[in-house]
Structure 1
């Protein structure tokens, strides 16, 4: 009986001192939470996968939404380690609030284009066509980076749009077009490329007046500051930049 008790005690002791590769290692796994603009969904999923492959025991948790929504969540105390915004204006809010660990770094830029359903049933040929009374146009809300860019190209062209819907992210605008709920939507060139044959893209010269620069920064409340910087370095590095370029992003 004493032998059995001694063996049980020994087993517990061994379990408490479990070495590498054991279940005890699960507690040592780390999670990096990255908030990123909706237009970065495909690229950051790839960059995160590559980052996890290069960092054993690290899991990257991605949260995508409109940049203004992400900033509001951070201002309200949502736990995150890194923010990648689709414009500098929203990132500047966190700079002003003292919520960043360092200076933001610009890593990409993007411009607007017109997305229409396959076959372009409404016959959209230019930015001016979007101001037509019979056009079902969908855009981003003004507080969202793609919405602010829409306002800039609208003003540059001297046009007045009357959208049937203003969405909180560029992916929501794209979804309205791909599902046939809109004749056209103003989205980024990267969104059209990523959508494949689900939409057609129509470029317009006024897009040059509203180029969005994307900054990335570590947050001051991060529990993984070193890991956060390593992820930022991965985005800024050659491999991360290649992923972004392949998706249609331009240099900042």
Structure 2
């Protein structure tokens, strides 16, 4: 039996890499990174046969070309999208360059929007599909020096809700869902670069008293994609240790 196919963007490191490992046995993956060499070692480590589709999402024309290539690669078994690729360029808003703003908007909002648009057309043909949009705890709370990043992650939540409502109005019989998964502070390169003082400050805000492991996020994504989660739709799942 042919495995269902799932796209994972930003799969070369951090949470995206953990998601790829979590899904690799059950699904046939289309793995995205900005450059193919970033995925070479990952492909050797994963179970099963998987494909690579690369693009620099900071360039909107590259996103359009990526979506065109995805249509050709997807096929009848195309089942899921994990819009994980993202970038945070931290700086006070008054000093944030237009280039950096455009880069975050292109990668964090326009790319998942256009990919979801493409996926929905394919899912309707296949009568099923799941879109997982990766949010962030700061999409709800906001964060100093992350005005643009926080805004883009808040956009993922409302995009998810709107897609779920829209699909229902188009055809209630379609087995198509959209879910946001919003990590808190996870032990990745991003948190490793924080100073000890800043880490302590954030740890005080987390009832679970530790930075999450990428695998803890990946396991939630795996469940959200599964048939067991078929009643989870149009909502945001927080994986943040209870951050306040």
Whether these two folds match at TM > 0.5 is no
Higher relative contact order, chain-length normalized (CA < 8 Å, sep 6+)? 1
Structure with more strand by fraction: 1
TM-score normalised by the chain length of structure 1: 0.28
TM-score normalised by the chain length of structure 2: 0.28
Larger radius of gyration: 1
